[in-house]
Structure 1
Amino acid sequence: MRPLHQRLQLYTDGSDTYIFVPSEGQGQSLTVHRSSGEIVLNKPNTSIPTSARRYSKTIYGIIGTISLSLSEYLIVSTGRELRGRLMGHEIYRAADFDILPLNPNVNVQNPPHPVEAHYLALVKSHLSGGNFLFSYTWDLSRRLQAQHHFREKDAQKAMWETADDRFFWNRFLQTRFIETAIRSTSSDFGAFILPIVYGTFDIRPAFLHGRHMQLGLISRRSRFRAGTRYFRRGVDHDGHVANFNETEQILLVEAQTSPGSMRASEDSFVAKFSFVQIRGSIPVFWGEVNTIRYKPDLQIMDSPETTDAMRRHLQEQVGIYGEQSLVNLVNQRGYEKPIKDAYERYVAEINIPNVRYQYFDFHNECKHMRWDRISILVEKLKEDLQRQGYFHVNATDPTPAKLQRGSVRTNCMDNLDRTNVVQATIAKWTLNEQLQELGILPPSGTIDDYEAFSKDFREMWADHADAIASAYGGSGALKSDFTRTNKRTRKGLLEDGVKSTVRYLKNNYFDGPRQDGFDLMTGVYVPRKSPSLSLFLITDTRPLLTRSMPLVAWFSLFMICAGFTLPRTADYSRIYFFLVWLVVLALSLIFIVKNGIDYVSWPRLLPPTEIIHYMGPGYRSGYHGMGFKGAAGPGRHHPGKSNSKWLGNKKVKVANRVEEMEMGSVSSKKRRD
C-alpha cells in the first residue's frame, strides 16, 4: 500500500488557486482551482507562482470538500495528536481543522448569509466534537485479518482504494478527489487522499511471564445511518443499522526475554492476534419519539419491508465476518419487551443459515449487583466462540495459524452500556484463550490473577466504552465501574445517575443540531444552492403560544420567589399573590408537558416526521406530549393525529424530499463506485 503525504505546505494565489506542496520534497504538487473546483496534479518540478502566499499553518491532511448553499469549501487538518504506534505505524487523531472557501466572496468567519453561517456552524461543531483517527502508512479502517489476506493485492494500491467503505468516514467529502484520482493517469494523486476513521484507538505495553506484549483496542464507527441516540434507530432499506461499530482487540507478542532486558523493535512480533466483535441497533424499523419525558414513546413500524431489510443486514454481516451469534440484551418485560418480540419474530421468519440467536435477560440475571452472572452468557456462547475462533499469525509463517470465521453481534436498546459490559467480558475470555495458547498463562489461568495487566485491560475497555457512548448517547458509558474494577459499586450507581441526567438533557435539548451535523458531513443531506429556500433552518415556526410558555413558567417562578421578599402588610393579600402565580406556573407546566414534543430539539435538515406521525400497523407505547387533541391513549396500535403540525410543515417536507432525492442519486453513485 502506497503511503500518504504526511505534511503539506499550502499556498494561495490570490483568489484563483490553492496549491498544496508536499513538505517531504518528493512528489508532485496539487492545485485546486477556486473558480471551477477543478483539482489538478501538477507536473514534477512545477514552480510555485511568485504571486502566491504561503499559508501560516502546516497542513497534515486534506479531509475533503463540502458544498453548502453559497460556496464549496475545502476542509484540511491543521493539527494532529499522536495516539500511539501500531506495529511501527503512527496513529494520529485529527485535532484541529481549517475550512477554506472556494468562493472568494465568502468569508468563513463572517458568512454573507445566516443560512450559510448555520451550515458552517454545523460543520465546525461536527469536526470539533468527533474523534477522528488516521494513519499515513496503515489502513486503520480494516481489521488485521482482512489486511493480511489482501496484503499482496493491495501492495501497489492507494490507501483510499483499500479502505473499508463502511468506516471511511470522510468518503463523501473525498468524492471530488476520488473521482479525479480515478480519471488521473498518475498514481501519485492517491497520496493526497487521507481516509479518516471515526472511532477509538488505544495501545498499551504489557509484560507477563517474560514476554513483552502490546494490547490494543480499535473501534470503527460506520458512516451509514450515523447519528445520535434517539434520532437514529433501527435499520434502513439498504440494511444499514444505527450505531454500528466494529471493535477489534489486538494482541502483539514478542519473543521470550528475561525481566529487565531490552525490547526488540516495534514491529518485530513473533505472534499477532486479532479478535473482532460488532454491535448495532436492532435491525427492524423502529424509533423512540422524544416528548421531554424521561422515557420516550417507543414506536415499532410493522412494515412488509422489514424482512428484506433485516435479511440484507444479516447477509452482509455473514459475508464480511462469517457466522453470526446474535446476542440480544434488551429486557423481556416492560418498556423494552415489544422491540425484543419484534426482533425475535423477524429473525425466526428469515431463518438465515450461519445465524444463531441468543437472548440474555441482562438486568434480571444481574440484579442486586450480581454482575458475575454475565459468566452465564459466556458459557452459553462458549461453543460459538471456540468455533468462530480468532485471527492468529506467526512471524515465521505467513500462513495464518488461525482465522476468525465468525463474530458475536451484541445489542441492547442503545448498544452502549449493557453491550459494553458484555463485549468486554467476551474479549477477556478470548484474551485468556490466546495467552493460554502461547503458554503465557496456565490452562486454568486468567488475566485477573495479574493486577497490572488486568487493570490496563479494564481501563482500555472502559475508555473505549465512554468514547462510543459519548459519540452516540451524549455522555460516558453507564456501568463502566464494573468494566474498570471488575465489580459493581454504589459509587458507580451514583455516577450512572449523573450520566443519565446528562444524557436526558442532551438527547432532548441539544441533539438536533448534532444530528444535522452527521447528516450534512456524511452526505445524507445535500444543501440547496439558494439559501432563501432554507430559511426554515434558522427560524422558529412554532406558534407564539408554544414559544411563550417556557417564559411564562420562568416568570411565574421568579414572581413566587420574589413574593417572599414582599412586606407583610396583609397575609391574605400574599396568599392571593402566591395562589395566582402558582396557578399560572402549574398551567404553563401542564401545557409544556402535554405538548412536550414541541420542546424537543429536533433535527431540522431531515426531521423524523415519518416516525412521529406514523399511521401504519405496529406498536406505540404511548402518545405523550403530542398535544391536548392528539393523545390517543397508551398501547394503541394507530396513533392519533398530532397537533405539532410545525414538524410536518409542507415547505420543509417538500424541500427535504427534493434534497433526499438528490442525495439518493449521489448515494447510488457512491455504492456503484
Structure 2
Amino acid sequence: MEIHDDMKLYTSAEKFYIGAKSAKELLIIDRISEAVYLEKKDNQQANHPHIDFCGFLGSITLIAGRYLVIATHRDLVGFVAGHAIWRLRGFKLVPYFKSTIHLSNLQQSDNATYLSMVEHVLNTPYFYFSYTYDLSHTMQRLNGAGPMMAQQSMLARADQRFVWNWHLLKGFQNPDFKNFTLPIIHGFISINQVVINGNTFNWIMISRRSTQRAGTRYFRRGTDRNGSVANFVETEQIVDFQGDQGSFVQIRGSIPLFWTQLPDLRYKPPPKLVEIDREDHNRACLRHLETTSQLYGRQILVNLVDQKGAEGKLEQAFGETVNNIRLSSVRYEPFDFHAECRHMRWDRLSILIDRLQFEQEEMGYFLMMRDGSLVSMQDGVFRTNCIDCLDRTNVVQSLLAHRSLTAMLKKLNILKPNENVENHGSFESLFKNVWADNADFISVQYSGTGALKTDYTRTGKRTKAGLLRDGVNSLTRYYKNNFTDGYRQDALDLFHGLADLRSPLTVDRGWRYITFPSVLLVAVAMFVTCAIIPPEYSTESLLFLLFWGSMVFATGHTILRYGHEFVDKPRLL
C-alpha cells in the first residue's frame, strides 16, 4: 500500500487542501472545526497559495491551537528489498489559526517555547520513512504476518512501539486517509552495497527506538508498570543478495526494574532501586519479559553492569527477579564488563561471546530465498543492557552481529567455508564503522553526545585518542544531563502527547539558585586575583588567598549538597 509523496498543501482562509499527483481525491482539513474528510479533486484550490512537501506527518495541539506537521525535504538513504528508504531533512509546522492576538503575552511566550520543543525533537538526528516499505517491522515479522496485513494501510499495520509520530497522526487514522498518513521511525539506518568474492549484495542495519518510555538518559530509567523500559532499541542486520533476504535481530533496553538515577551535579549519581514492595518489581519485570517473549521468542538477558557498588545492587536485584519469576523462555547471563576488560583487555570479551555461542547457533537467523522458500527463522533474541544501554551494549551487540553475519554469508555462498568476514579488510572496516556510527547516533538521541568506546568498535582495540575522545564526550554528557535535559525531556513528552500544558514553564528556583553560584563566581575571581597579582606573598596576601580558597571550597560543597536544586528538570509533568 503506497503512501503519496510529492504533495501540495493549498491554504485558504477556512481550509487546508492536501493533494498529490497520483491522487484522485483531496484531503480536506477545516481550519476552524478541525474536521477532516476527502473530496474529489477539482481545480478550485489551485487559486490558493501552496507549499510543496513530501510527507504528511500529522498535527499537534499547542496553547495557540493546532499545527499541521509536514515533511518538506528528504534524503535518499538507499533501498531495502527494492523499496526506497528516506531520511527526514526538513519539516514545517503550519498553524490552523490565523493569528495569536487571542493570547496573552505569557501565553505567546509559552507557545513559542512549545513550538521550539517540537522543532527540537524533529531536528534530533535521524528520522526515517518509506512510502512503500514498513520500517517499523523486521523482515521476519513482515513475512509471518499473513495476507491480511498486506491489505492494511501502512499506519494501521505498523508496530506502534516504533512509530514516532503516532500521537501526531491520532486524528487521521480513518482508513480512508491511508494514502496520506506517513509513519516515521527514529534511530539509525545504514544501507551499503558490498562486493565479496565477486558477489554483490546490500548489507543493511536498521535500529528502531521505541516511543514507550522515551526520554533522556537520567530522567528515563528502568521500567514503568506496563513493563515498558527506557531506551528500548530493536536493531536489525539485513543481507539482501539478489532477492535472497536474511535478517538478524537484537534488542537493548534499560534494566526492567523500578530504579532512578536523577541528576544532582555529581559526575555520576548512583543508581537507586525504588523502595517499593518486591512483588511490584517482579510484576513489572515479568510483564516486560512476557511481552518481549511474545514478540521475539526466548531471550538471553546479557547484563553488562558492574557487579560491585551501586551498579552491583542493580545487577543482584535483576538476577534475583529473573530467578523469582521463573520464565522458561528466559536465561540470565551477567558479565562484569569493566572488571573483565580492565587495563584495556578488551580481547576478554571473547569469554562472553564463547558463552553465548551455542545459543546463538540455536537461535539462528531469518533467511528467505528469492523463490519465496523459507530456509530458517530466528528463534529467540539477545537482550543486552548496561546502565545506559549505549556504550558497552553496542560493543557486545556488534560482536554478536559479526558472528551471525559470517554464518549468513557462508549459507548464501558469498563467503567460502574457510573464510570469515575479517578476511575481507574493506568490508570488515565498513562493518566496524557502521556499528560505531550506530552507537553514536543512538547515544546522541538518548544522552545528548556520541557513544563512548567506539574506538574499539571501529578498530578492534582501545586507543589513547579514543580515551581522550571519551573524556570530552563524558564532560559534554555531564553538562547536558545536568543543565539541558529537563527541556529535552519536556520536548519528548510534548511530542508523544504526555505533557501537561497546564504546568507552568517558569519555576521558582529558590534563593540558593542565584545566591550560591554568584558567591562561587566572586570567590573564584578573588582567589585567582589574590594568587596572581601580588609580586611577593605577604602574610596578608596569604590570608586573603586562604580565605577565598575556603570560600570556593565551602560554596562548591554547598552547591553539590543541594545539587538537585540546580539541575534542569522536566516541568510538563
**Shared topology, TM-score over 0.5?**
yes
The residue aligned with 1:92 is 86
Q: Distance in 1 between matches of 2:9 and 2:387?
A: 46
User: Where do 1:29-40 residues align within 5 Å?
Assistant: 29-40=26-37
AA aligned opposite 1:209: N
Post-superposition CA distance 1:24-83 (Å, at most 9, x none): 2433111111111111211x233334762223xx21111111112231111111111112
The residue aligned with 1:531 is none
Give the one of 136, 150, 170 matched to 2:145: 150
Post-superposition CA distance 1:412-434 (Å, at most 9, x none): 11111111000000000001111
AA aligned opposite 2:69: I
Give the one of 281, 294, 307 matched to 2:267: 294
Shift of 1:347: 0.4
Shift of 1:587: 3.0
Q: Distance in 2 between matches of 1:416 and 1:445?
A: 31
Distance 1:165 1:545, change over 3 A: closer
Match status 1:168 vs 2:163: yes
Q: Would you say the 8 A contact 1:66–1:173 is kept in 2?
A: yes
Q: Distance in 1 between matches of 2:546 and 2:336?
A: 49
Post-superposition CA distance 1:163-218 (Å, at most 9, x none): 1111011111110111xx15xxx4xx111100000111001111111211111000
Match status 1:509 vs 2:483: yes
Shift of 1:92: 1.1
The residue aligned with 2:123 is 128
Q: Would you say the 8 A contact 1:290–1:297 is kept in 2?
A: no
User: Where do 1:172-191 residues align within 5 Å?
Assistant: 172-178=167-173, 181-182=174-175, 186=176, 189-191=177-179
Q: Distance in 2 between matches of 1:455 and 1:374?
A: 19
Q: Distance in 1 between matches of 2:299 and 2:515?
A: 52
The answer to which of 516-525 and 341-350 deviates more is 516-525
Q: Would you say the 8 A contact 1:197–1:220 is kept in 2?
A: yes
Q: Would you say the 8 A contact 2:155–2:183 is kept in 1?
A: yes
TM-score by length of 2: 0.95
User: Where do 1:80-479 residues align within 5 Å?
Assistant: 80-106=74-100, 113-150=108-145, 152-178=147-173, 181-182=174-175, 186=176, 189-254=177-242, 269=243, 271-301=244-274, 302-303=276-277, 304-396=279-371, 398-479=372-453
Q: Would you say the 8 A contact 2:100–2:108 is kept in 1?
A: no
Q: Distance in 2 between matches of 1:5 and 1:242?
A: 33
Structure 1: where are the runs of 5+ without partners? 255-268, 529-533, 607-673
AA aligned opposite 1:67: T
Shift of 1:508: 1.1
AA aligned opposite 1:273: G
Q: Would you say the 8 A contact 2:391–2:451 is kept in 1?
A: yes
Q: Distance in 1 between matches of 2:429 and 2:335?
A: 27
The residue aligned with 2:522 is 555
Q: Would you say the 8 A contact 2:17–2:45 is kept in 1?
A: no
Q: Would you say the 8 A contact 1:106–1:112 is kept in 2?
A: no
Q: Distance in 2 between matches of 1:91 and 1:50?
A: 30
Structure 2: where are the runs of 5+ without partners? none
Shift of 1:145: 1.0
The residue aligned with 1:77 is 71
Distance 1:566 1:334, change over 3 A: closer
Secondary structure of the corresponding residue to residue 217 of structure 1: strand
AA aligned opposite 1:548: T
Q: Would you say the 8 A contact 2:10–2:46 is kept in 1?
A: no
Shift of 1:151: 5.4
The answer to which of 553-562 and 245-254 deviates more is 553-562
Match status 1:68 vs 2:62: yes
Q: Would you say the 8 A contact 1:291–1:297 is kept in 2?
A: no
The residue aligned with 1:596 is 563
The residue aligned with 1:640 is none
Post-superposition CA distance 1:555-591 (Å, at most 9, x none): 2222344456767799555445444433433332222
Distance 1:49 1:515, change over 3 A: same
Shift of 1:438: 2.5
Q: Distance in 2 between matches of 1:93 and 1:576?
A: 62
Q: Would you say the 8 A contact 1:4–1:192 is kept in 2?
A: yes
Q: Distance in 2 between matches of 1:12 and 1:551?
A: 51
Distance 1:445 1:372, change over 3 A: farther
Distance 1:207 1:51, change over 3 A: closer
Q: Distance in 1 between matches of 2:384 and 2:121?
A: 27
The answer to which of 237-246 and 595-604 deviates more is 595-604
Distance 1:407 1:564, change over 3 A: closer
Secondary structure of the corresponding residue to residue 162 of structure 2: coil
Post-superposition CA distance 1:210-256 (Å, at most 9, x none): 211111000000000000111101011111000000000001123xx
The residue aligned with 1:619 is none
Q: Distance in 2 between matches of 1:550 and 1:577?
A: 20
Distance 1:111 1:72, change over 3 A: farther
Q: Would you say the 8 A contact 1:324–1:406 is kept in 2?
A: yes
Q: Distance in 2 between matches of 1:367 and 1:545?
A: 41
Distance 1:362 1:586, change over 3 A: closer
Q: Distance in 1 between matches of 2:519 and 2:375?
A: 70
Q: Distance in 2 between matches of 1:401 and 1:335?
A: 46
Q: Would you say the 8 A contact 2:139–2:247 is kept in 1?
A: yes
Distance 1:597 1:21, change over 3 A: same
Shift of 1:394: 0.5
Q: Distance in 1 between matches of 2:323 and 2:35?
A: 52
Shift of 1:527: 2.2
The residue aligned with 1:54 is 50
Distance 1:119 1:582, change over 3 A: same
Note the aligned Cα RMSD (angstroms). Answer: 2.0
Distance 1:545 1:209, change over 3 A: closer
User: Where do 1:473-512 residues align within 5 Å?
Assistant: 473-512=447-486
Q: Would you say the 8 A contact 2:272–2:310 is kept in 1?
A: no
- Percent identity over the alignment? 39
User: Where do 1:574-593 residues align within 5 Å?
Assistant: 574-575=541-542, 577-593=544-560
Distance 1:248 1:550, change over 3 A: same
AA aligned opposite 1:318: S
Q: Would you say the 8 A contact 1:228–1:514 is kept in 2?
A: yes
TM-score by length of 1: 0.81
Shift of 1:385: 1.0
Shift of 1:112: 5.4
